[in-house]
Amino acid sequence: MMTDNWKYQKLITMSIGYILKRHFSPMYVIARLDRAIQRIVVRKIDEKSRLLLWITRSSRVMTSLSIFFIIMIPCLCSFSFSWEPYTPPAPIPNDRRTFPEPQSVKVNVWQNAYSRQMTQTTTRAFDFSRWVRAIGGNPRQALNVNAYDEVDSSSWFEHRNTAQPFSQEDIRRGPRTIDGPDTSGNWVIFKVKSEGMAPGFWIKDAQGNRFIIKPEIKGYPEVGTSAENITTLLFYAAGYHTPENYLSQVRLNRIKIKSGVKLIDERDVKRLMTQKDLEAIFDRVHVREDGTVRVTASRFIKGKPVGSFSFSGTRKDDPNDIVPHQHRRELRGLYVICSWLNHHDLNSGNFFESYITKNGQSYIGHYFLDFSSSLGASLFGAQPLVRGYVPLINPLYTFIVNPIKNWFHVPRWESNNPITYPAVGRFNNHIFKPDKFKINYPLAAFSLMTDRDAYWAAKLVMSFTDTQIQAVVKEGCYTDPKTDSILANILIERRDIIGRFWYNRVCPLERFRYDEKQSKLCFTDMGIKGNLYTKSESKYQYKTKHNGKEVAKSMTFSDNSCLDIPPPKPSKEDINEIEVVIQTARSKGNFSKPMNVFIQSDNSQAFRVVGITR
C-alpha cells in the first residue's frame, strides 16, 4: 500500500512540477489533453459527422477538466493519512491590557454608509474564495472562538445572562448605577445635538452627572423612549456593552442654557443659542398632562471618547485589537439579536469607543448606542413598513429584486404588517423570518455570519425566560397595561422562532461531561432545555473512534442525554483520544449536521472533554 501511495505522490509531484515549469499555467496541460482528444475523435468520424466535431470542440475545456479530475481524485483519495490527535485552538490574547491613550478618531457617518453600501459590498461580491467556500459548505468561521466553540469575555462582550441568569431585579436594573438624573434642580444645557432629526441636548444635573437627553416628539408619546429603554436592558443582559439609559420626567422650566452654547440653525449658520431657540425646540416635544416632558437620559460613558468602531478590519492604534471585526463571532452573531428586537439602525454614530480604566488596566471599551428605532418604534411613531425587511438604500433591491417580486405578489411586509399597538408600532411575529432580516446598510460581519455564529447568538436569545422578558417590558413604563402583555408576548414568540430556526441548522448540544467510572458522556440538548422540543420527539445518532480508528458503528437512541462511551485501553500514543461523532433529529425529521466531541487523556490523567467542533 505504501509503495502505491509513493507512486501516486510521485506522479502528482511531477505533474505539479510540470505545470509550474510551464509558467504556472494549468491551462497548458488542459490544452495538451484537448488536442489529444481531438486527434482521437477526428480519426473516427467521417464527412457526415461535422456536428459531432463541432460539439467536441465547443466542449473541449470541460472534457479536459473532467479527465484531469478523474485521474487526480483517485490519486488524492488513495493517500493514507496518519492520525493526529485533536489540538485545541490557541487562546485569544486578553484584549483588556493597558496601552497608551490613543487619539480620538472621528468617523463621517455618510462616508461610512457609502463605504459599507458600495465599496465593501463590491469587494465581497468579487471575493471568489468566499464563493468557493460557500459552494463547498465550508465558509470561513469566526476567529475568536475557543475549543468549545464559545466566545471568551472581552472588551467587546461579557457573558451575563447565559453564565448566571439574572434575577428580575438585576435584569430591570441593567447597566444602571444611579437612580437617573436629579430632577430636584435645574438641568443645564452645555451642548446641543446637531446630528439627526430628533432634538437632543447634553446636560448636567444638580449632582454634576452628565447626560444626553432626547425628549418625546409631539404626538408620539412613549413609542421611541420606551423602545430604547427596553432594548438597552436586553442588549446589556445578552452580554453587549451599553450606556446607562434612564426614563425621566422633567418640567421644561427646569432646563436652562449655559452661556456660550452654540447651535447650527436652519440656515446652516453656527451661532449662540438663545432662549427663543430653546422655546422653538420645546414646541416640538410632547408635554404630558402634568406639565412634564418624558425623556431618555443616556449617562455619559466613563473614560475618554476615542471615536467609533467599524464592523470590518481592526483599529490600527489599538495593540489589543488583533482579530478583524468581521471575523469576531459576537459581531457576526449580533445579526440574530438585532433580528429579534428589529434593531435595524446600525450606523457608525451608534457605535462608540471609550478609553477606560477598569481593574487597574486601561484599554478601549466598545459600546452600542441609540436603540430608539428598535422593536416597532421610532421617535416619530411607528416604523415605516419596510424597516427590517428591505435595506434603506440598495440599488439591487430597489431597481431589480423589488420590482420583480412586486410584479407577481405583494410583499408580506406591505400586505400583513399593521401597527400592532400605538405605543408599540409595527412589531409582530406572524411575518417574521429570522434569516430574512435586513438592516439599513450592509455590515461585513453580518454578511459573513455562519450557522455556527447564528446558533451561538440564538443561545443568547433563548437564555431569556418569559419572566425576564416580562420584567424588562415593564421598564418601558407604558401607561396602558395592555401594551406590556402585547409586547412581551411578541418578544417571547420571536425568541422561540429564532431558537427553532437556528437550532435546526446545527447539532444543538452543549455542556458535555465525561464520567470515566460510569463510561458515560452526558450533554445538554439546548432544544429541550429551551422547551422547543420534548425528549420523546428527540433522538440522537453517534459513532465512536479511538485514536482515529472507528470502534463503534452508528447507533441511534432517544429519550436520554447520556451516551455509553467506554474508555479505551492504555495506548502507546502520548495522547489517548476518544472522538464521538453525534447528530440530532426531531420527530420524523432528518438528522442534523454532525458535531465532534473530543475526549483525551495523556495516560496519566483521567479522560476529560477537551474540545468540540461543529
Total tally of structural domains belonging to the chain: 4
Residue at which a domain ends, from 301, 329, 346: 301
Same domain, 527 and 421: no
Same domain, 469 and 566: no
Query: Would residue 17 count as lying in a domain?
Result: yes
**DSSP string across 378-390:** ETTEEPPTTTTTS
Same domain, 351 and 494: yes
| pTM given for the model | 0.82
Same domain, 432 and 315: yes
For 547-584, write each residue's pLDDT tens digit: 888 887 777 777 778 888 888 777 777 778 899 999 99
Residue 260 amino acid letter: G
Q: Which of 586, 588, 560 is nearest to 505 (CA)?
A: 586
Same domain, 463 and 534: no
Residue at which a domain ends, from 503, 522, 540: 503
Same domain, 218 and 141: no
Residue at which a domain ends, from 276, 301, 326: 301
Which segments of 136-266 does DSSP mark as H helices, in order? 168-173, 223-238
Q: For 422-482, what is the HEC assignment? A: CCCECCCCCCCCCCCCCCCCCCHHHHCCCHHHHHHHHHHHHCCCHHHHHHHHHCCCCCCHH
Residue 455 amino acid letter: Y
Query: Would residue 415 count as lying in a domain?
Result: yes
Same domain, 265 and 368: no
**Grid coordinates in use for 29?**
496541460
For 395-414, write each residue's pLDDT tens digit: 666 667 667 766 666 777 67
Mean pLDDT of the chain, nearest integer: 82
Same domain, 282 and 185: yes
d(CA 539, CA 550): 22
Query: Would residue 437 count as lying in a domain?
Result: yes
For 57-107, write each residue's pLDDT tens digit: 444 444 444 544 454 544 444 444 577 889 999 888 999 999 999 998 877
Domain limits for position 395? 109-169+307-503
Query: Would residue 99 count as lying in a domain?
Result: no
Same domain, 152 and 58: no
Same domain, 246 and 222: yes
CATH number of the domain residue 556 falls in: 2.60.40
Same domain, 293 and 146: no
E strands within 146-286?
187-192, 201-204, 210-215, 245-251, 255-257, 262-264, 270-272
Same domain, 313 and 435: yes
Query: Would residue 388 count as lying in a domain?
Result: yes
Query: Would residue 314 count as lying in a domain?
Result: yes
For 161-201, write each residue's pLDDT tens digit: 999 999 999 999 999 999 999 998 999 999 987 655 678 88
